Amino acid sequence: MVRSSSPSARRSSSRRSACPTPPIFLGALAIGFGIVFLVDPTRPAPLIPAILLALFAFLTLYGRGDLMPAWFQPLFVPLLFIALGVYLLLEKRAT
């Protein structure tokens, strides 16, 4: 077994582990929420997570994902879904 100890190999492995949530995943979720908003523009709930996810995807893509604390990054998407679910439960429905 040969181990690579070159600086570029160490940099690429540390770069992969530095970003727990890939920007392509966050961007895909943002696009999905944006499409849901476009289908029914009277409900603004999907627009908020779409904007937050897109913003964080761009920040992560361009190397500024460290603006959010590392301990909070794995909780970001689930908390957005929980907040959206609570909003949908409490939203007044027109009958």
Q: Is 20 helix (H, G, I), strand (E, B) or coil?
A: coil
pLDDT of amino acid 35 = 92
Q: What is the pLDDT of residues 12-57, one digit of tens each?
A: 444 444 556 688 888 998 999 999 899 988 888 889 889 988 998 8
Q: pLDDT tens digits, residue range 73-93?
A: 788 888 888 888 888 788 776
Q: Among 30, 90, 17, 23, which residue's Cα sits nearest to residue 58?
A: 23
Tell me which residue has tokens 């689930």. Answer: 78
**Distance (Å, rounded) from C-alpha 37 to C-alpha 59?**
22
- Dist. CA 23–CA 31, nearest whole Å: 12
Task: Name the amino acid, one letter, at 83.
Answer: A
Higher pLDDT, 72 or 6: 72
The predicted structure's pLDDT at residue 4: 54
Query: Which run of H or E residues covers position 73?
Result: helix 73-90
